[in-house]
Structure 1
């Protein structure tokens, strides 16, 4: 990305170094061969940061870097921006009526964790070993086809061919809940219906899995009191984000900016 191809970013008379925008552009995606899109996204982000820093200094705020991790602190600029937003962005806490109305809009969004009863056939391999991975994939594809052609044979196929200790139980893993398996296996379970056998073997760090969903118990809808604080927190965060966006929009509307486009969309 050649900085000279892009216009200078100037915010209220302050020229922002191209290097700052170029560094920010690494954090933004763009279609291959269209670096201008990433540059424009970066220029907008840097323009907002510059506006916020200018406003913090106009208000004569001082930086008080907070610890954001063990031994890691905010930069002075991050602390200034946080201090400004804490000072300038105010929101009202949602009322009890607002919280109940938000929950009542769709109570089914708030459920206890699901439970899945699952069986699988594992064709073990180290995915980093290409030769072993290809061989395991071929085995898994064959076993998957055989299981799909004759679903009643699943337990026997697992007993005869699985590389998991569950083969002693016909591949049955018992009941699983969120967090009990590797993320990619859990993601597959969330997509499966009761009685379904996976159409394609799933690759995880353990190898290829042919999966059968034996039973699904969707978590019960939780009562209002069990989720009241969660709903309230989500509403407060959403309200704060809207107020912060409105504050930035006001700063941008009063600013003289070239090289970025901060018009509200």
Structure 2
């Protein structure tokens, strides 16, 4: 349900003013005002429920600093203290981390690398005449290199619009995500020493690509990644526990003007 700005939002008999929701909505960018209003109302309702529980448990505001060294406001500090007191999660021990590591071993591979060289014929894609001319030049260059592959570096130096032309077209080692998708699709499917038999078209222009030495990815040792796995598992466990805790509190609260089931997102900012 989308909250109605004209309908009062009540939490345990206390009204959250529309003005407060409108101000909070600035922290919840959305595609439309209703969605922003809904998220803001939800955030303030959750906040009110947590503060009410902190009141019930007589939790005072400790001095807490955020990651930037700024002291939290009293209500924010009380919510942090409440969650710290009431939400407990297990420590991710070595056995738990190792089990996750073995079950998700594909996630812990260093990327494969390919030494790449290219010759770029620069042309904007929104100018078909120039782009076609660049493609034809690339086709002619590929034909010449099929006859004389030893000329690649010399042709790159004389023809390429890329600064790498001064190094014979050498781009160094390329890993996934380091260049545009079209370039990588062809590059990573070439054998070491193979030139792509067709021009490769990207938004930068048209490329003649040659693959060099290929370096296979390696599995990252468990010992090197264990701390990050532990942090991930403990963070995930904490978020699930907080979500469940919120659902319990919300189930006990009296809320009108908003349908709410708890939160899986960031709770304290």
Q: Do both share a fold (TM > 0.5)?
A: yes
Gaps of 5+ in 1: 125-133, 179-183, 203-207
Task: Select 1:262's aligned residue among 253, 260, 263.
Answer: 260
Decide which moves more: 60-69 or 151-160.
151-160
| 2:143 is equivalent to residue 145 of structure 1 | no
Alignment length (residue pairs): 241
The answer for the alignment partner of 2:90 in structure 1 is: 92
Match of 2:39 in 1: 41
Q: For 2:135 and 2:113, how far apart are their aligned partners in 1?
A: 27
Equivalent residue runs for 1:44-123 within 5 Å: 44-63=42-61, 64-69=63-68, 72-119=70-117
SS, match of residue 202 in structure 2: coil
- For residues 140 and 62 of structure 1, what CA distance do their matches in structure 2 show? 70
- Work out the CA distance in 1 between the residues paired with 2:9 and 2:206: 52
Answer whether contact 2:114 2:174 (CA < 8 A) is retained: yes
The corresponding residue for 2:18 is: 18
Contact 2:114 2:175 survives alignment (8 Å): yes
1:189, distance to aligned residue in structure 2 (A)? 8.6
CA distance in 1, matches of 2:30, 2:58: 37
The structure that has the greater radius of gyration is: 2
Work out the CA distance in 2 between the residues paired with 1:187 and 1:113: 16
Q: Which residue of 2 aligns with 1:200?
A: 202
Contact 2:182 2:202 (C-alpha < 8 Å) held by counterparts: no
**Residue 261 to residue 141, structure 1, CA distance change in 2 (3 Å):** farther
Instruction: Return the TM-score normalized by structure 2.
Output: 0.71
Aligned-pair distance for 1:214? 2.8
In 1, Cα distance between equivalents of 2:167 and 2:227? 42
- Distance of 1:187 and 1:93 partners within structure 2: 41
**What is the root-mean-square deviation of aligned Cα atoms in Å?**
3.7
CA deviation string 1:52-77 (max 9, x = no partner): 1222232222222314315x332222
Counterpart secondary structure, 2:27:
coil
Distance 1:78 1:147 in 2: 64
1:254–1:105 CA distance, 2 compared to 1 (3 A): same
CA distance in 2, matches of 1:233, 1:190: 35
The aligned residue for residue 214 of structure 1 is 211
> In structure 2, how many angstroms separate the alpha carbons of the residues matched to 1:170 and 1:237?
48
C-alpha displacement at 1:151, in angstroms? 7.5
1:218–1:73 Cα change, 3 Å: farther
Contact 2:117–2:210 (Cα < 8 Å) also in 1:
yes
